[in-house]
């Protein structure tokens, strides 16, 4: 179902500033804002902690090392 909402000119100007590209819709901007405010899932939190542990253990590469490995 599609619906219309009324927003102030001030809010519209702010939403325009938040667009990543000109043809991005206000709906896409609003969904992005909602996504940013949502709680991380337990799976995501666990993966972040695992990644932090790997970095502490030295199981990571710098950008320079990866570029060299890939021949870039």
pLDDT in tens, 16-62: 999 999 999 999 999 999 987 888 889 999 999 999 999 999 999 99
- The pLDDT score that the predictor gives to residue 38 is 85
Instruction: Report the alpha-carbon distance of residue 66 to residue 60 in Å, rounded.
Output: 10
- The pLDDT score that the predictor gives to residue 43 is 93
Q: Which two tokens stand for residue 25?
A: 């819709």
Instruction: Report the alpha-carbon distance of residue 3 to residue 16 in Å, rounded.
Output: 20
Give, in order, the Cα–Cα distances in Å from 22 to each of 7, 34, 35, 69, 72.
Answer: 19, 20, 20, 37, 32
For the question of whether the overall pTM of this predicted structure is more than 0.75, the answer is: no
Q: Which residue has the higher pLDDT, 37 or 13?
A: 13
């Amino acid at each position: 179902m599609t619906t219309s909402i009324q927003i102030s000119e001030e809010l519209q100007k702010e939403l325009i500033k938040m667009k990543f590209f000109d043809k991005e819709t206000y709906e896409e901007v609003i969904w992005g804002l909602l996504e940013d405010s949502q709680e991380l899932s337990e799976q995501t939190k666990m993966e972040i902690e695992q990644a932090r542990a790997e970095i502490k253990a030295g199981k990571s590469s710098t950008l320079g090392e990866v570029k060299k490995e890939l021949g870039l």
